[in-house]
Amino acid sequence: MTTIQSEQTRPALPSHDLTGKRVVVVGGKTGIGLGIAQAAHAAGASVTVASRRSASVADHPELAPFEQISLDIDDEEAVRAAFDAMGALDHLVVAAGSTDGSWGAFMDDDMRGVRSYTTNKYLGSWACARYAGPRLPPHGSITLLTGGIAARPKLGMTSVTSAFAAVEALGRSLALELGPIRVNTIRPGFIDTDFWTFLSEADAAAVREKVRAKFPARRLGQAADVGHAAVFLMTNPYVTGTVLDVTGGEQLVDWAF
Ligand SMILES: NC(=O)c1ccc[n+]([C@@H]2O[C@H](COP(=O)([O-])OP(=O)(O)OC[C@H]3O[C@@H](n4cnc5c(N)ncnc54)[C@H](OP(=O)(O)O)[C@@H]3O)[C@@H](O)[C@H]2O)c1
């Protein structure tokens, strides 16, 4: 007896096509968020990018394919108003993240840093999910973004580890609470974006060299790699409540920047 299904009976594979869908990427004007916006657009979606800056298309032609919205996710009322004004969407991605309050030895800190970082990363993700949630259809999805430090802390980065872990827990909890809307988190490793401009050029070059030498994928992660993963999470109908590593294998090796 053959177990191979004929073309006629073989179930259709989920498609990566987003034609006719609206995708909103918060933090989508630069870096990883921009990579996600570009991947969603390439898959056929109409894409809205939202963040604090208003960037002219003349200066930033990479933003030409997208509708742009100005939004500060630290401000709950602004987030509520933005999603009220935006109307229906199919998929939400929250890729925004600032570095305010992210660094410092725990015993040297007071609560200002962690408050600022948590307000942005955790409460900002919470607010976007809360006010986009009612506008998402049953086939819709929410994708949140953290980083490898969620699972593997680095010295001096307790605020980041804790806020990322809270975002991942939020994702699992919302998958349960908002189902059938699917909710997932992407956990990138090193991705070569302007995020690293806080380092001197020499230090950034040294980090890139370490990544190429040590990470099992032997290359620098690109925003497009995360974009590819995000389109998968938007389109696969059975993936929810998960954290997807897009790390080049970073979690398998010892390294420090
Ligand atoms: N790059 C990496 O290697 C890496 C690795 C792991 C995790 N991550 C995480 O991934 C996220 C994105 O990083 P990235 O590399 O794409 O850096 P990025 O280019 O600096 O992007 C951060 C984006 O967040 C937006 N943003 C910050 N605060 C905001 C606010 N209050 N309201 C709305 N938007 C806000 C910024 O836009 P505006 O300035 O216009 O508001 C910017 O577009 C961060 O959370 C970062 O920690 C990055």
Q: Work out the average pLDDT over 226-246.
A: 98
35-57 burial, b at 16+ Cβ within 10 Å, e below that, comes to: bbbbbbbbbebbbbbbbeeeeee
Q: Work out the average pLDDT over 143-159.
A: 95
The pLDDT > 70 percentage for the chain reads 97
pLDDT tens digits, residue range 62-113?
Answer: 999 999 999 999 999 999 999 999 999 999 999 999 999 888 999 998 999 9
Q: Are 52 and 241 in contact (CB under 8 A)?
A: no
pLDDT attached to residue 12: 75
Number of the ligand 1 atom closest to the C-alpha atom of 35: 16
The pLDDT > 90 percentage for the chain reads 91
Give residue 191 CA to ligand 1 midpoint distance, Å: 11
Best probe residue, ligand 1, of 193, 197, 215, 226 (max atoms within 8 Å of C-beta): 193
pLDDT attached to residue 8: 62
222-244 burial, b at 16+ Cβ within 10 Å, e below that, comes to: ebbbbbbbbbbbbbbeebbeebb
Give residue 98 CA to ligand 1 midpoint distance, Å: 5
Q: Which two tokens stand for residue 56?
A: 């002219």
pTM of this prediction exceeds 0.85? yes
pLDDT attached to residue 5: 57
- Beta-strand ranges (E) seen in the chain are 22-26, 46-51, 67-70, 91-94, 141-145, 182-188, 243-246
Is the confidence at residue 1, as pLDDT, over 50? no
Q: Confidence class of residue 256 from pLDDT cuts 50, 70 and 90?
A: confident
The domain 22-252 having CATH identifier 3.40.50.720: the answer here is yes
pLDDT attached to residue 226: 98
Angle at 159 between CA 156 and CA 160, to 5 degrees: 90
Give residue 47 CA to ligand 1 midpoint distance, Å: 18
- Tell me which of 13 and 226 has the higher pLDDT: 226
**Distance from C-alpha of 132 to C-alpha of 181, rounded to nearest angstrom:** 11
Residue 156: Cβ-neighbour burial (10 angstroms; 0-12, 13-18, 19+): middle
Give residue 206 CA to ligand 1 midpoint distance, Å: 22
Q: Are 66 and 36 in contact (CB under 8 A)?
A: no
Give residue 220 CA to ligand 1 midpoint distance, Å: 18
pLDDT tens digits, residue range 172-189?
Answer: 999 999 999 999 999 999
Q: For residue 180, is the peptide bond before it cis, meaning its omega torsion is within 30 degrees of 0? A: yes
Mean residue pLDDT of the chain comes to: 95
Q: Work out the average pLDDT over 139-165.
A: 96
Best probe residue, ligand 1, of 73, 115, 195, 225 (max atoms within 8 Å of C-beta): 195
